[in-house]
Amino acid sequence: MTKNTRDADVAFIQALAEVLRENDLTEVKVKREYGEDDSLDVRVSRQQPQQVMAAAVAAPVAAAPIAAAPAAASAASADPASDPGAVTSPMVGTIYLAAEPDAPAFVSVGTVVAEGDTLLIVEAMKTMNHIPAPRAGKVTRILVDDGSAVEFGSPLVILE
């Protein structure tokens, strides 16, 4: 490895760390191919305080409407990721419920969506990724707040 390649790799890793910090991400993973037998695998991550993570998880549950039926109350207290109607995040990023700050949200609780309709946006590395409904259904819960950070596989919305 030449000094120039090493310096370029260090600059690349520093740029990834800056993207991580600027976008309030917890992890970025990249593979850089230089040639047939030469590559660089980089994973830059940071720990978040447990209080922040606990508050982010508790906030959507606390904001959920009080259920009238006992079955609905037990479903609200269950792990949303295990719900068969859960739509999960395909990437690490920041959630946006609307296309622009003053625009109406793509969906709200009770909205009926068709397969492919945009549910929300995940911003990752300055790219806006529309998250489509995997199937038609009714939005029964929104588990994230606008502008909050999400991890890969985090439940975002419950479709019934």
User: pLDDT-derived band of residue 61, with 50, 70 and 90 as boundaries?
Assistant: very low
**What's the token pair of residue 47?**
């720990």
> Rounded to an integer, what distance in angstroms lies between the CA atom of residue 157 and that of residue 140?
8
DSSP state of 105: B
DSSP state of 81: G
**Quick check: 157 pLDDT over 60?**
yes
pLDDT for the residue 32: 77
Please list the residue range(s) of the chain that carry CATH number 2.40.50.100.
Answer: 50-159
pLDDT for the residue 140: 92
Supply the CATH classification number for the domain 50-159.
2.40.50.100
Q: Which residues pair with 32 in a beta bridge?
A: 40
Q: Is the pTM of this model over 0.75?
A: no
| Residue range 66-84: mean pLDDT, rounded | 55
**What's the token pair of residue 97?**
């419920």
**What's the token pair of residue 110?**
């009770």
pLDDT for the residue 16: 79
pLDDT in tens, 30-57: 887 777 777 777 777 765 544 444 444 4
User: pLDDT-derived band of residue 78, with 50, 70 and 90 as boundaries?
Assistant: low
- Pick 115 or 5 by higher pLDDT: 115
